[in-house]
Amino acid sequence: LGEHVHQAGSLVTDSRLRFDFHHPEPLTAEQLQAVEHEVHRLILANLPVDDQEMPLEDAKATGAMAFFGDKYGDIVRLVSMGEESRELCGGTHCRYTGDIGAFKIIAESGIGSGMRRIEALTGWGAIDYYRGQEQRLNHLAAMLKSSPQQVEKRLETLIAENKAQAKELASLQAKLVKNNTADLWRNALEIDGVKVLAAEVAAGEKKEWVARV
């Protein structure tokens, strides 16, 4: 997203996470997909996660990211994931990135001016999410009398058929209104030089009758 992005807060558990960061606008679907792809690349790389304590200045010299500057003491804990990531962190971590297993973003939202939040599932949490999505897809396919692989094509066909039927119905209703209004006018009364028509109708849309009458 750019060099302006910096972490502004986070929550990490064994099955989910929340990540707050600086960014001026919502992420697109393509950007979210790219984030997921990058995270899975590092998970599959199964990088070793090492930590060591050292003086703050020595840690900064390694290029490690520091998120809460003035909260660090003279001795800090440096967490490294291969050559991909170095940061100052006091929390616990898995021993290899592959231990994370899976990663799925489930929400992206704004939490303030120039601030965004990503919420995601990991490990079994992500796997359970994918299983739930698969079950919903299978249920939808059964409702449409289709296979999961053909659901999109089946929906496109049904939508096209619905549009064609709606167009045909509108045409038939217009013809019905036209015929009925012609019959009604034959029964119109003339009162003081003004034609008056009063009748109860039960077909077509109100706007069709108003337009015709």
pLDDT digits (tens, 9 = 90+) for 3-18: 888 888 888 888 899 9
Task: Give the pair of three-digit tokens for residue 179.
Answer: 């015929």
pLDDT digits (tens, 9 = 90+) for 61-103: 888 877 655 567 788 888 898 888 888 877 767 899 999 999 9
Say yes or no to pLDDT of 180 above 90.
Answer: no
Report d(CA 16, CA 18) in Å as an integer: 7
H or E segment to which residue 11 belongs:
strand 7-12
* Mean pLDDT estimate for the chain: 86
Contacts of 19 (CB under 8 A, 6+ apart): 7, 9, 10, 117, 118, 119, 120
What is the average pLDDT across 141-165? 93
Say yes or no to pLDDT of 128 above 60.
Answer: yes
